[in-house]
Amino acid sequence: MNALKLISLAWRNLWRQRRRTLLTLVSIAFGGFLAVIMTAMQDRSFADFIDSAARLGAGHVTIQHQEYLDTPTLTRTVKQTDAKRSAAEGDEGVVRAVDRVSGQAMVATASDSFGALFIAYDPTQEDADTFEFADDLTAGSLFQTPDEKGIVLGSILARNLGAELGDKVVFTMTDRTGNIVTDMERLSGIVTTGAPSLDGALCLLPLGTVRRVVGYEPTESTQVAVFIGDGRDALRTARTLRQQLGEGVAVLTWDQIQPEIRAFIAMKVGGGRAMELIIGVLVAAGIFNTLFMSVMERTREFGIMMAIGYSPRQLFALVMAESGLLALLGLVGAALITAWPYYYLYTHGIDMSAAYSESGTVEVGGVGFDTILRIGIYPENALIIALAVVLATVLAGIYPAWKAGRVSPVESINLV
Amino acid sequence: MTSPTVEFVNVTKVYRKGAMETHALRGLNLQVNQGEFVAIWGPSGSGKTTALNLVGALDTPTSGVVRLEGRPLGDLSRRELSRLRRDRIGFVFQAYNLIPVFTAYENAEAVVALQGVPARERRERVMQILKDVGLEGMEHRRPNEMSGGQQQRVAIARAIASNPAVILADEPTANVDSETAERLLTIMQQLNEERGVTFVFSTHDPRVMKYARRLVGMVDGAVASDEVKASGV
């Protein structure tokens, strides 16, 4: 029996129990839909989360002093950052590399003082792709040049300090030799990220100002933040840069610098995989039931087919073909029912802020999640789901197919 | 000397269910030669169907040897038995047993397709056989669109299309009316005479016995009588 005849027979067999086949297809399609949407939610939210952490921290890949990770002081710097940025930007996956100086500072006004996390950046090197706070400004303005006057504070920190735009803010930090240095700027902007811990501690400064205050050279900073198009390429990019830059500096990925975020994502992904596995098993059980019932109902028919010359292998192939067709139809069904919800959630998303805390945000490791739930699946994950659906369906068909091939003609023909 | 088409040598068949044993065949010895039109008759439980199942390679004897065209079936592997059923044996069942999703043409063609006969030759052969059994113009009907007699004719066409050495027909007229039964028997008789195909019936239908040219009577799993008639109907 050639393949075309086999598929033709399998196709017709599928539609002998139209309602049951349709119900099975619905379960496959719905399983596929759930798997795609769940995976797309994870892929998008974690990709956004990683990007956000990278913008907030020091990129997807960070070039820094070898001891800075353990002792993040302003005495641990990298020099000739222009050459290092050029080296990084030579990698095909790298979007941009920028200088950052970050560390601890004390900020004070006439009425109060608080500890702060400062980030000094060069606004001519950065934009919304690399700088987390570009869209978070709620008062004043951000810096346009690396040497301009001013200081930008998180909204809670500004409120705690009792500072308003134009007020004097004194900041104190250690210089490159470890001595205490102080400078004063006027409050030029206020940002609200939605992450309370960040809004209560954030202090943004122009890179040139900080370099001058702490005594850095013009191409010296604590970190070179490297941004890449796909956060999942961080490890490869880091390896490449390590080879290029040698042993003098540390080249770290975002998850090495922020292991708590890696752990959080790993935990969530693990949970998601477990859910997908459960869905897969349920779908496979449904398919198995359909195929097994179908085979059991046709025991007599298989006996007849065996009697007239079909081989056990051909009967096995016939049921496997039915299983394969179910899988393909199920995939088409999954694509059809997933297309519109996917498109909507990809483009518009759902505003989940009301479901979160009073602040309307959710925060992990100082990084805020976007409260608009959007989705976006990595193509390889979509492919994995499609293959998993086909695999689950085909696996579910193996036993019924084997059973069909083992039918005893005499016993089954005697069944009436 | 050519071998008999079908040969039973001291064949026994015992069915066991728990502690209970049923002796379906008790030392059956029988030969059917090429081109014969034989009816094996006898009461229920006499072993007719068991004998057909054994020669049809659907079951194995408890002891003894069953040969088809001289080949002992017990020596064949599962795959060889499948091929044997496909190429050398045609079945006609009491309940027709057509593949319900196939049309009359496809049912008749199924075994020929399994044999790998080229499409054109296959089509010509199957169309001719459907014409021979009186189903011309009904090729595209599915079993549920045909009467019992028509379905049985498709079953006969299916059995004959693969050019088998023997056609085993188990109570082929049991589910049809007298007129249809006569028609079916006439068709099978013609096929036997024109194509030289050996027919072995299991039956207790007097109409079949009327057409048969040899009557083998079975009682309690063994041959009780063997009568060669001068001619059938």
Q: Cα A161 to chain center, whole Å? A: 36
pLDDT at B184: 85
Query: CB neighbours of A72 closer than 8 A, spacing ≥ 6?
Result: A102, A103, A222
Say how far apart CA B155 and CA B149 lie, in whole Å: 10
Q: Yes or no: say if B181 and B128 are a contact pair by the CB < 8 Å rule.
A: no
Tell me A324's DSSP state: H
User: Which residue in this structure is represented by tokens 């066991």?
Assistant: B16
Say how far apart CA A259 and CA A333 lie, in whole Å: 40
Average pLDDT per run of 10 along chain B, which is 233 residues long?
85 90 93 94 91 92 94 90 92 88 93 90 93 90 92 91 91 84 87 90 89 93 89 62
Say how far apart CA A187 and CA A171 lie, in whole Å: 11
Say how far apart CA A144 and CA A259 lie, in whole Å: 33
Instruction: Kindly give the pairing relationship between strand B166-170 and strand B89-92.
Output: parallel
Say how far apart CA A327 and CA A322 lie, in whole Å: 9
Does residue B63 sit in helix, strand or coil? Answer: strand
User: Which residue in this structure is represented by tokens 């049912």?
Assistant: B107
Please return the burial class of B196, using the count of CB atoms within 10 Å of its CB with bins 0-12, 13-18 and 19+.
exposed
Tell if the CB–CB gap between B110 and A308 is shorter than 8 Å: yes
User: Which residue in this structure is represented by tokens 């056609």?
Assistant: B167
Tell if the CB–CB gap between A300 and B97 is shorter than 8 Å: yes
Say how far apart CA A39 and CA A382 lie, in whole Å: 8
pLDDT at A179: 87
Choose the closest CB to A13 out of B56, B101, B162: B101
* Residue of chain B whose alpha carbon sits nearest to that of A412: B58
User: Which residue in this structure is represented by tokens 């020596």?
Assistant: B75
Instruction: Kindly give the pairing relationship between strand B198-203 and strand B166-170.
Output: parallel
ipTM field: 0.87
Tell if the CB–CB gap between A308 and B85 is shorter than 8 Å: yes
Residue B117, phi then psi, degrees to nearest 5: -65, 135
Choose the closest CB to B91 out of A12, A301, A307: A307
Choose the closest CB to A410 out of B58, B82, B115: B58
- pLDDT tens, B67-104? 999 999 989 998 899 999 999 999 998 888 899 989 99
Say how far apart CA A63 and CA A74 lie, in whole Å: 15
User: Which residue in this structure is represented by tokens 């439980």?
Assistant: B45
pLDDT at B143: 94
Neighbouring-strand partners of residue A373: A350
pLDDT at B1: 53
Domains of chain B: 6-228 (3.40.50.300)
Q: Which of B52, B68, B76, B86 to probe by mutation at the A interface, max A CB count within 10 Å?
A: B86
Query: CB neighbours of B170 closer than 8 A, spacing ≥ 6?
Result: B48, B49, B52, B91, B92, B93, B94, B201, B202
Residue A310, phi then psi, degrees to nearest 5: -70, 140
Q: Which of B22, B68, B88, B99 to probe by mutation at the A interface, max A CB count within 10 Å?
A: B99
pLDDT at A270: 84
Tell me B2's DSSP state: P
Say how far apart CA B194 and CA A68 lie, in whole Å: 99
User: Which residue in this structure is represented by tokens 């006898």?
Assistant: B42
DSSP string, A13-40: HHGGGHHHHHHHHHHHHHHHHHHHHHHH
Choose the closest CB to A1 out of B56, B85, B114: B114
pLDDT at A416: 38
pLDDT at A370: 67
User: Which residue in this structure is represented by tokens 């999640």?
Assistant: A369
Say how far apart CA B192 and CA B198 lie, in whole Å: 6
Q: Yes or no: say if A194 and A174 are a contact pair by the CB < 8 Å rule.
A: no
Tokens of residue A344, six digits:
């909507």
Tell me A410's DSSP state: H
Interface of B with A in 31-60 (CB under 8 A): 53, 56, 58-59
pTM, rounded to two decimals: 0.75
* Residue of chain B whose alpha carbon sits nearest to that of A13: B101
Say how far apart CA A382 and CA A44 lie, in whole Å: 13
Average pLDDT per run of 10 along chain A, which is 416 residues long?
84 90 90 90 83 80 89 86 88 87 89 90 84 82 87 92 89 86 90 84 91 89 88 87 85 85 83 82 84 88 90 92 91 94 92 65 61 85 88 88 88 64
Query: CB neighbours of A393 closer than 8 A, spacing ≥ 6?
Result: A28, A284, A287, A323, A324, A326, A327, A330
Q: Yes or no: say if A331 and A389 are a contact pair by the CB < 8 Å rule.
A: yes
